[in-house]
Amino acid sequence: MYVNRLEALVESGSLNNVESEKVEKSNAVGKRLSLVDQAFSRLEEEFKDFSLSEAQNQVIALIHFLTYAVELAEQKGWIREDIRSELLNAWRIHGHSSFVKHIQTWPRGYLGDFEVINMIVDRQEESAENTLGGMIGRYALNSLIAQQHREKLKIQAGLVREACHKFEALNIISIASGSSRDLEEVQYEIKESKAKVLLIDFDKDALEESKRRLSNINNQVDTFLTNVRRLPQFFKGLNERGKKFHLIYAGGLFDYLSDSIIKIILKNLSDRFMHKNGTLMFTNIAKGNPYRAWIETMGNWRLTERSKKEMEQLLSCVHSHKQSLKLDPTGLTWIVMVHLDQIKLL
């Protein structure tokens, strides 16, 4: 491991005093991580001796201390693999949670899959509430990083509802739709307005589940199986629909895309596919997410965080002079609303 390699260098005398001081600091980082790992192991061994509230408080305290220790290690230049190698018990114990196990392994082969979003929406944890894994999973599902997903869906459902009341012959696109938990909540409004909805996702099973959940409006729903990263195929499929869309939204997708791809998507959607009175909405996790070190180290969930300045740079490809910016209710996610005549960030 990283620490052992440095200790060997010290013993060989190949490091000068300054480097030896760095090694001591690195050893301190390793010891802190090791203490956290040992604390998780002891909690597991002594778990039955604690009351439910005592165990819950210990779990929460240890998660916070782990996150702090990981952030300090990162500041000292430790890489993810070396940090995790000091936290093997913590990793294993986190995996007793069905929710955390999913984000450790991503069984569908990609991050942020529709199954994990379903777990977040339903607060679904299979491990019993009075078990260590169950407590970790429920803490995760009730944390703000999970709540920001639910907030996005609520905002998206509200936009669809508003558009249904505002437009006739309404056309909607949901990009990276997953299982359409937002649209599921507004099926009545979609049906009454006779709106048409295009669901786009690269997971066939996600689109199948969407159709099952939207059974009341299946005759108003079209699906497009494609990976938006394959830009020519993506734009060709939209062009073949021969429509202008009143509402286009992508909740969470841009957390996984590069700036260059996002700019191409924004420019093409706004210039070629948006109705003259339409709205384009997207989200992005904000820089400074306090859960980042935890979900990256105890899970494998990496998101591209962006600052206010970085968000404004993304929008530079859309012609606009008016912009405003506000975070979602959790303070963790940017909610962006784009109009052809202006850009408004809520």
pLDDT digits (tens, 9 = 90+) for 92-119: 999 999 999 999 999 999 999 999 999 9
What domain count does the chain have?
3
Residues 244 and 134 in one domain: no
Are 52 and 16 in the same domain?
yes
Query: Which of these three, 107, 123, 142, is where a domain ends?
Result: 142
Q: Are residues 129 and 152 in the same domain?
A: no
Same domain, 134 and 152: no
Do both 137 and 152 map to the same domain?
no
* Mean of pLDDT values over 135-150: 98
Query: pTM for this one?
Result: 0.89
Q: Tell me, what CATH number does 155's domain have?
A: 3.40.50.150
266 has pLDDT over 90: yes
Amino acid (one-letter) located at 208: E
- 113 in the same domain as 223: no
Structure tokens at 116: 């994990």
What's the pLDDT tens digit per position in 233-242? 999 999 999 9
Q: Are residues 188 and 64 in the same domain?
A: no
- Is residue 102 domain-shared with residue 158, that is, in the same domain? no
Q: Are residues 157 and 268 in the same domain?
A: yes
Domain match, 56 and 117 both: no
Residues 226 and 336 in one domain: yes
Contacts for 42-50: CB closer than 8 Å, 24+ residues apart: 43/93, 43/132, 44/89, 44/93, 44/132, 47/132
Domain of 279 in residue numbering reads as 147-345
Looking at the structure, tell me whether residues 56 and 107 fall in a common domain. Answer: no
**Percentages (nearest 5) of helix, strand, coil residues in the chain:** 60, 15, 30
Kindly report, residue by residue over 282-338, the tens digit of the pLDDT. Answer: 999 999 999 999 999 999 999 999 999 999 999 888 765 445 578 999 999 999 998
